[in-house]
Structure 1
Amino acid sequence: MSALLKALAACAAMALTGAALAESTSLRQLSDREDLLGWEAVGRLDFAGKGFCSGTLIAPDLVLTAAHCVYDRDGQLRAVSQIQFRAGLQDGRAIAERQALQIAAHPGYRPERGPDAENVIHDVALIRLENPISSFEADPFVLHSGRNYGDEISVTSYGMGRAEVPSRQRSCTLMAEFQQVMMIDCNVTFGSSGAPVFSQVGGRGRILSVVSSGGIYQGRKVAFGMQLADRVAELKAQLRRNPVAAVDRRIKRVRVGGGNGVSGAKFIRPGG
Structure 2
Amino acid sequence: MNRLLRGCLIAAALSLAPFPAAAVTGGQVVKDPNGLRRSVVLIESSNGELCSGAVIGPDLILTAAHCVLQRAAYRVVTVDRRFRKRSIRAVAAALHPSFIPGTTPRTQPGIDLAILKLGENLGPDFAPLDPARSYGLSEGEMVDLAGFGLSAEAAKGSARVLRATRLVSLGTLQAANRVVVVADQRRLAETTGAGACRGDSGGPIVRNGPGGYQLLGIVSWSSGALHSRTPTACGGLTAVTPVSEHGEWITARAQDLRRLNGEQTIGWASRPRTNTFDWSMR
Matches of 1:233 and 1:132, distance apart in 2: 23
Deviation at 1:50, TM superposition (A): 1.4
Deviation at 1:49, TM superposition (A): 5.4
Q: Is the 8 A contact 1:109 1:123 kept in 2?
A: yes
Letter in 2 for 1:210: I
Matches of 1:14 and 1:98, distance apart in 2: 44
Matches of 2:169 and 2:203, distance apart in 1: 16
TM-score, normalising length from structure 1?
0.69
Letter in 2 for 1:53: C
What is residue 177 of structure 1 aligned with on the other side? 172
What is residue 83 of structure 1 aligned with on the other side? 74
Question: Does residue 1:222 correspond to 2:237, yes or no?
Answer: yes
Matches of 1:215 and 1:141, distance apart in 2: 27
Deviation at 1:62, TM superposition (A): 0.7
Letter in 2 for 1:147: G
Letter in 1 for 2:84: R
What is residue 160 of structure 2 aligned with on the other side? 164
Can you list the C-alpha shifts for 1:56-82, whole angstroms capped at 9, x where unaligned? 21111110110000012xxxxx45xx1
Question: Does residue 1:138 correspond to 2:134, yes or no?
Answer: no
Q: Is the 8 A contact 2:64 2:220 kept in 1?
A: yes
Matches of 1:92 and 1:205, distance apart in 2: 20
Q: Is the 8 A contact 2:60 2:254 kept in 1?
A: no
User: 5+ residue gaps in structure 2?
Assistant: 11-24, 151-155, 184-193, 228-234, 265-282
SS at match of 2:239: strand
Q: Is the 8 A contact 1:44 1:89 kept in 2?
A: no
Matches of 1:244 and 1:85, distance apart in 2: 18
Deviation at 1:226, TM superposition (A): 1.5
SS at match of 2:120: coil
User: 5+ residue gaps in structure 1?
Assistant: 1-8, 17-24, 73-77, 249-272
What is residue 211 of structure 1 aligned with on the other side? 219
* Corresponding residue to 1:123 among 104, 108, 112: 112
Question: Does residue 1:191 correspond to 2:199, yes or no?
Answer: yes
SS at match of 1:122: coil
Distance 1:175 1:211, change over 3 A: same
Q: Is the 8 A contact 2:136 2:244 kept in 1?
A: no
Identity %: 22
* Corresponding residue to 2:248 among 218, 233, 258: 233
* Corresponding residue to 1:50 among 26, 48, 51: 48
Matches of 1:204 and 1:224, distance apart in 2: 23
Distance 1:100 1:232, change over 3 A: farther
TM-score, normalising length from structure 2?
0.67
What is residue 33 of structure 2 aligned with on the other side? 36
Q: Is the 8 A contact 1:55 1:65 kept in 2?
A: yes
Letter in 2 for 1:164: R
Can you list the C-alpha shifts for 1:94-117, whole angstroms capped at 9, x where unaligned? 2x4321121001011112122336
Matches of 1:146 and 1:118, distance apart in 2: 24
Q: Is the 8 A contact 1:65 1:126 kept in 2?
A: yes
Matches of 2:135 and 2:64, distance apart in 1: 22
Letter in 1 for 2:34: L
Q: Is the 8 A contact 2:170 2:182 kept in 1?
A: yes
What is residue 27 of structure 1 aligned with on the other side? 27
* Corresponding residue to 1:152 among 139, 142, 153: 142
Deviation at 1:166, TM superposition (A): 0.4
- State the structure with more CA Rg: 1
Distance 1:247 1:89, change over 3 A: same
CA RMSD of aligned residues (A): 3.1
Q: Is the 8 A contact 2:129 2:214 kept in 1?
A: yes
Distance 1:168 1:239, change over 3 A: closer
Question: Does residue 1:108 correspond to 2:98, yes or no?
Answer: yes
Deviation at 1:126, TM superposition (A): 0.4
Q: Is the 8 A contact 2:136 2:242 kept in 1?
A: no
Distance 1:134 1:89, change over 3 A: closer
Matches of 2:74 and 2:67, distance apart in 1: 10
